[in-house]
Amino acid sequence: MRQYRQILEDTQHLMREAEYTRREFWRRADLKTAAGFTNSATWYRDYFAREIVGRIPPASLPANPRSRLLYETNGVRGYEVVLDVHPDVFAYGILCVPVTATALPDAAAGRPAERRPVVVCQHGLEGRPRDVAHPDVQNNAYHRYAFRLAERGFVTFAPQNPYIGGTRFRQVLRQAQPLGLTLWSFMVRQHEVITGWLASLDFVDPERIAFYGLSYGGKTAMRVPVLVDRYCLSICSADYNEWIWKNVSARAPYSYLWTIEYDMPEFDLGNTFNYAELSWLIFPRPFMVERGHDDGVAPDEWVAYEFAKTRRHYVKLGFGDRAAIEFFDGPHSIHGVGTFEFLARTLNWPAGAPR
């Protein structure tokens, strides 16, 4: 028991010291100007990709998109889409297209072809694209937010991420880790193919492809847009956190030490990138957090403490209007108020108002 307590206290000591270790790790970053920081952040982004996420080769197959109509209602068409990445590796999701987005240009009427912004809407643990993008599915965590955004005129895409199947995806992770890989290694390549295909659609503006994810989709929002440059902004819902405490604390009831989710720890993250530092790698692209007061993933204090570092970074480098947080009186779910306004403003889509 004495040895156990010594080992435990060692981990708790490292957790308390991690903030200072990260400060030392970030000493080479230029924090004086936006341009200087962006240049110096290249090294950190490469380190994150190489040492934390792990790299697999880029897609080896053409996307070869296959689609079929899933529904048409309320001015929105939903399509199931499959895209190739590698042999036996593919990307799948539901594309929601406002009918008006595909209207033919009419030169005589002065109506040119219009390119719409896209919001990639990511489900959480054990989720499905239908949970967020099908008008007949009412999930209390997602509230059909991909479909609702499409009703407002956005094109949306809801991908299937691989964190599904109980312990099966965690077994894949355990096989990947000795190779220096993670689930994110595969997801990054899938999202590269997804965003590349979206950018090729003639009704999509390739410069306005946003990411908005809840829970495990929020974890995705903190990692994948760091490494997929086509994402012009990121929204983390119901996940932003003091991530090191969340993984390591032996006292806080919010800690993953008390749950079955053994897939959460990432190699050496405490000494390199907490959620604030990950948001710095998204900078200067817009970034937002959506947080319910009754969300059991963490207390508000943890979220606010960590986001203060995100906010200060954006403000000090002259982009304070691009970082936002919304606290709302609710649970672990999409709220879809401040975030929808943030999307309409940052994606320059004033038509994105309720109908």
Q: Which residues contact 180 (CB under 8 A, 6 or more apart)?
A: 54
317 by DSSP, 3-state: which? coil
What does DSSP say about strands 204-214 and 231-237: parallel, antiparallel, or unpaired?
Answer: parallel
The mean pLDDT of 34-62, rounded to a whole number, is 98
Distance CA 8, CA 147 (A): 46
pLDDT value at 76 more than 70 = yes
The boundaries of the domain holding residue 338 are 16-102+114-346
Whether 109 is covered by a domain: the verdict is: no
Rg (CA), the chain: 20
pLDDT value at 99 more than 50 = yes
Whether 90 is covered by a domain: the verdict is: yes
Q: How confident is the model at residue 350 (pLDDT cuts 50, 70, 90)?
A: confident
Distance CA 349, CA 57 (A): 35
Whether 3 is covered by a domain: the verdict is: no
Whether 50 is covered by a domain: the verdict is: yes
Q: What is the rounded average pLDDT for all residues in the chain?
A: 95
Distance CA 240, CA 282 (A): 14
Geometric angle at alpha carbon 212, from 209 and 216, rounded to 5°: 135
350 vs 322 pLDDT, higher one = 322
The mean pLDDT of 181-209, rounded to a whole number, is 98
Whether 5 is covered by a domain: the verdict is: no
Q: Is the pTM of this model over 0.85?
A: yes
For residue range 223-248, what is the model confidence (pLDDT) as tens digits?
Answer: 999 999 999 999 999 999 999 999 99
Residue 264 has a pLDDT of 94
Nearest to 242 by CA among 304, 329, 313, 322: 304
Q: How confident is the model at residue 102 (pLDDT cuts 50, 70, 90)?
A: confident
Q: How confident is the model at residue 107 (pLDDT cuts 50, 70, 90)?
A: very low
Whether 221 is covered by a domain: the verdict is: yes
Residue 104 has a pLDDT of 59
The mean pLDDT of 142-166, rounded to a whole number, is 97
pLDDT value at 114 more than 90 = no
Residue 112 has a pLDDT of 57
Nearest to 140 by CA among 298, 335, 327: 335
Q: How many domains does the chain have?
A: 1
Whether 108 is covered by a domain: the verdict is: no
The mean pLDDT of 8-33, rounded to a whole number, is 96
Beta carbons of 96 and 156 less than 8 angstroms apart: yes
Whether 45 is covered by a domain: the verdict is: yes
Q: Which residues contact 193 (CB under 8 A, 6 or more apart)?
A: 59, 63, 83, 84, 85, 91
Q: How confident is the model at residue 355 (pLDDT cuts 50, 70, 90)?
A: very low
The fraction of the chain above a pLDDT of 70, given in percent, is: 95
Give the CATH number of the domain where residue 261 resides: 3.40.50.1820
Q: How confident is the model at residue 353 (pLDDT cuts 50, 70, 90)?
A: low
For residue range 267-308, what is the model confidence (pLDDT) as tens digits?
Answer: 999 999 999 999 999 999 999 999 999 999 999 999 999 999
